[in-house]
Structure 1
Amino acid sequence: MWALRAAGLLCLLRAGSEGPCPRTALLPDMVLSTVGANVTLPCLQWQPEPNGTVSWKVENKAVSSEHAVLGPSLLLRLVQYNDSGRYSCYVGGCLVHSLRLLVEEPPEPPSFSCYRRSHVKDILCEWQPLRRPSPRTRAVLWVKKWLTGKNATEQRCRYFPKVEKFKCRITVPPSEDDTFLLVSVCVSNGAGSTVSKDQVISANRVLKPDPPVNVLVDPVKSAPQKLRVNWTYPPSWDPKFYRLHFQVRYRAERSQSYTEIDQLRETSLVIHDAWHGERHMVQVRGLEEFGHGSWSEWSQEAVGTPWADPIDLEWQTGSYSSQFPSDYDFYADTFTLPPGLYGTEDTNEGGRGVGDHSTVPLYTFLVTGASLFLGTGLLAGIVLRYKKKWRRGSLGQGKARAVVQHPLVPLAPPSPTSPLSEAPLLSPPASPGSVSSTGTPGSGDFGPFDVSNMDYLLVPQ
């Protein structure tokens, strides 16, 4: 007995969940066609007359020249949705026959999803068909409580051409936020009908806030690695009774990976590890404070750059002067120096921006300056070294001239008992004009020098 009751209840639930989803009924004067087909509409009541002329109108307007009239029938080639309407056949200005053309394709099986923007909003279920539906397409949302099958309702869905989506609305009382609902969708038109798969939802499970708005990224003064981020709650969420917590992600413009900061209760944040001088992309999303539902979509990207010292910014990317004296033409073609270095100012009246100047990177200028400084120092060292040597050489010659002005003193007086000659070991210097008895200079006498003493040839160093 219990098995039979359970089987009957299961059949009842299935029947209630699927329900009738019939195709739209066609009236006797309707002609159904698919998109892209050729359609022939007959003028059945017309009889050939010698002076009778046949004409066709669609919705009381003359048929365009794109359609061909073949005798008592109208041929429509490659019909589209907008060709649907009532066509009338006239003979001699009198209405003879009227037909309604319906151009439709069988509907697509809907794949819908449901969400709720806040605790005080209704549940919205929506889906986007792959192709635009015909005007006669009808969509219905079936809702009932899970397992009990009570309070089954039918909600009409609307198609919004601007967003190209079907949307259905479910109203849930505040006391039933945790109640499970069985939901399905039926879509039908004159060409057929289809039913979606069942979904089990609840108001808390489908809670999904809108993304935060008014996201702003500002620099922090005197902090080249910090950014201050501020945002506000979305308009659909009232923070007086229900709160959100937030997640922020950011990245430098040159980076492909995000850094994320979670569990934020306030609507502001200071980033402490921003890249100096780099633009950063920042996004924020929110989740219900008790974790019900899912995260919102990420907000639109907000852009900000950390604070930079105005002096460094002017030196690296500012407006530089290119006016140089004629002696520096070579360097003027190679480098761009900051304004005021040579007492000149930027004459550009257009207020050119940072990206409008062709400047040499700072490190290139520093390397070149260091090279010039080292080269100048090396040249000065060489000059000083040779100057000292030349001075020492000149001093040595002066000392040599001074030595020859004084007579040499014998190393030791001769001993009285010495058997050697009494002549001194070194002959006293002769006068510059003395000669030997033979008429030639004496032995060892060569002008004012005594060549037997090698000290004459040594120059003090």
Structure 2
Amino acid sequence: MWALRAAGLLGLLLAAAAGPCPRPALPPDTVLSTVGANVTLPCLQWQPEPNGPVSWKLENQAVSSERAVLGASLLLRLVQYDDSGRYSCYVGGCLVRSLRLLVEEPPEPPGFSCYRRSHVKDILCEWQPQRRPSPRTRAVLWVKRWLTGENATEQRCRYFPKVEKFTCRVTVPPSEDDTFLLVSMCISNGAGSAVSKDQVISANRVLKPDPPVNVLVDPVESAPQKLRVNWTYPPSWDPRFYRLHFQVRYRAERSQSYTEIDQLRETSLVIHDAWHGARHRVQVRGLEEFGHGSWSEWSQEAVGTPWADPNGLEWQTGSYSSQFPSDYDFYSETFTGPPGLYDTEGANVGGLGVGDHSTVPLYTFLVTGGSLFLGTGLLAGIVLRYKKKWRRGSLGQGKASAVVQHPLVPLAPPSPTSPLSEAPLLSPPASPGTPGSGDFGPFDVTNMDYLLVPQ
């Protein structure tokens, strides 16, 4: 009786010493080894040499001789996790001995973190080990209310090979979102166990939404320095009852620094200072509207390029960008500059900057050339007309003076020695059209001014 009581007390003491994360007991006939070691499995315990041919099998499959030395003892070199299993030794076709090989590494102390995707989701605690755990590795999360005397509850954790993480789930009632919980994680396998440090968490403090999805970046028509960004809530967050506010960061591909815009309530944004003609990378993240928890991870990058004039080449800004913020849009009303300098929508988009090449229709050249030709001809006609008029006026004055200077022959009695018919009373007038007379008659058919200019 006393012996039984002493054995029970000893068992309680051992359990208390082991703590909440004990090392699991190994089954009998088990050989424990670490990864990369050489292991020898004897076939017979009492007889040094078997009385017949010896063969080995692993889980009823013949052991390959590529990594093993077959004989009275089986030598396995550089064992791995896949070498774990039950090995059987046969002598003369009869089973003589069966041993279980367990290849394990002592677990590393877990450093887990907890988060909650939304107010209606459970808390998830995750741990990603640095090396791949053995198949026998187990993880347990111990949870209890902080500063209370209640016992901790055990939450089993599951290992996901694709992401190489242990994930534990904690269910929290809606009325206990602000309740503090004390949690710790226990990792154990055949080679040992390890426990994490205690963490104090609450459902609101670990709130971390998933990143926004469906991020799209589109150009704005006739605005070479604007980009329109749209996104949607993550599927794990229901915006009908709880909202998020967002943060957007963006950069041109040739830039190393991001520009961030915070406190966004809507799921869209117009960027006003994009680089003209450059591809931009945009990301979005979200935070609970009242600031509970932490920011989500950044969304996947979305790429977009501002609008460019299809009738001309892109304006090259070089290695810098000379841009004004949207507050200076009024400059576009009084100043016509390169389309890449100012953030205007529908204004100055036709202005040519350095390096611009505009396409002008052919009829524009024809109309301009014809107008220039007609204007030049009209000007020449006016000059010629007034030149002829001035010349004619000068000639008229010359004829008048010449007439006045012609003296009349005085009337005198004819000389008795000459007949009367031989002394003309007046000098004969010059014949019309006589060369050298200075008079061209009443009409000069070679002078077109008589026809064009009224007398």
Tell me the distance in 2 between the aligned counterparts of 1:322 and 1:223.
16
**Is contact 1:399-1:460 (8 Å) kept?**
no
Tell me the distance in 1 between the aligned counterparts of 2:322 and 2:312.
19
Report what 2:420 is aligned to.
420
SS of the aligned residue for 1:241 comes to coil
Structure 1 residue 320, shift from structure 2 partner: 27
In the TM superposition, what whole-angstrom CA distance separates every residue of 1:403-431 from its partner, at most 9, and x where no partner exists? 99999999999999999999999999999
In the TM superposition, what whole-angstrom CA distance separates every residue of 1:96-128 from its partner, at most 9, and x where no partner exists? 110000000100000000000000111010111
Report what 1:19 is aligned to.
19
Report what 1:436 is aligned to.
none
Tell me the distance in 2 between the aligned counterparts of 1:220 and 1:279.
14
**Identical positions, percent:** 91
Tell me the distance in 2 between the aligned counterparts of 1:329 and 1:291.
34
SS of the aligned residue for 1:376 comes to helix
Change (3 A) 1:95 1:356: farther
**Is contact 2:85-2:100 (8 Å) kept?**
yes
In the TM superposition, what whole-angstrom CA distance separates every residue of 1:275-322 from its partner, at most 9, and x where no partner exists? 111111110000000000000000011011111110113899999999
**Is contact 2:160-2:166 (8 Å) kept?**
yes
The 10-residue stretch of structure 1 (240-249 or 307-316) with the greater mean CA deviation from structure 2: 307-316
Change (3 A) 1:395 1:166: farther
**Is contact 2:308-2:314 (8 Å) kept?**
no
**Is contact 1:110-1:196 (8 Å) kept?**
yes
Change (3 A) 1:284 1:44: same
Change (3 A) 1:331 1:99: same
RMSD of equivalent CA atoms: 14.3
Structure 1 residue 152, shift from structure 2 partner: 2.0
Tell me the distance in 2 between the aligned counterparts of 1:324 and 1:270.
15
**Is contact 1:141-1:186 (8 Å) kept?**
yes
SS of the aligned residue for 2:314 comes to helix
Structure 1 residue 68, shift from structure 2 partner: 3.5
Change (3 A) 1:135 1:412: farther
**Is contact 1:253-1:278 (8 Å) kept?**
yes
**Is contact 1:396-1:460 (8 Å) kept?**
no
In the TM superposition, what whole-angstrom CA distance separates every residue of 1:227-266 from its partner, at most 9, and x where no partner exists? 1000000000011111000011111111111111111111
**Is contact 2:314-2:356 (8 Å) kept?**
no
Tell me the distance in 1 between the aligned counterparts of 2:23 and 2:409.
146
The alignment's TM-score, normalised by the length of structure 1, stands at 0.65
Change (3 A) 1:18 1:231: farther
Report what 1:333 is aligned to.
333
Where does 1:225-374 land on structure 2 (aligned, <5 Å)? 225-313=225-313
Structure 1 residue 60, shift from structure 2 partner: 0.7
Structure 1 residue 325, shift from structure 2 partner: 48
Change (3 A) 1:53 1:180: same
**Is contact 2:188-2:194 (8 Å) kept?**
yes
How many corresponding residue pairs? 455
Gaps of 5+ in 2: none
Tell me the distance in 2 between the aligned counterparts of 1:324 and 1:388.
63
Report what 1:108 is aligned to.
108
SS of the aligned residue for 1:317 comes to coil
In the TM superposition, what whole-angstrom CA distance separates every residue of 1:30-68 from its partner, at most 9, and x where no partner exists? 000011111010112685789711000001100011243
Structure 1 residue 351, shift from structure 2 partner: 29
In the TM superposition, what whole-angstrom CA distance separates every residue of 1:61-83 from its partner, at most 9, and x where no partner exists? 00011243454210001111110
Tell me the distance in 2 between the aligned counterparts of 1:167 and 1:142.
13
The 10-residue stretch of structure 1 (102-111 or 316-325) with the greater mean CA deviation from structure 2: 316-325
In the TM superposition, what whole-angstrom CA distance separates every residue of 1:11-48 from its partner, at most 9, and x where no partner exists? 99999999421112111210000111110101126857
**Is contact 1:429-1:448 (8 Å) kept?**
no
Change (3 A) 1:140 1:336: same
Tell me the distance in 1 between the aligned counterparts of 2:384 and 2:192.
105
**Is contact 1:320-1:336 (8 Å) kept?**
no
**Is contact 2:311-2:358 (8 Å) kept?**
no
Change (3 A) 1:269 1:88: same
Change (3 A) 1:278 1:325: closer
The 10-residue stretch of structure 1 (197-206 or 386-395) with the greater mean CA deviation from structure 2: 386-395
Tell me the distance in 2 between the aligned counterparts of 1:361 and 1:132.
70
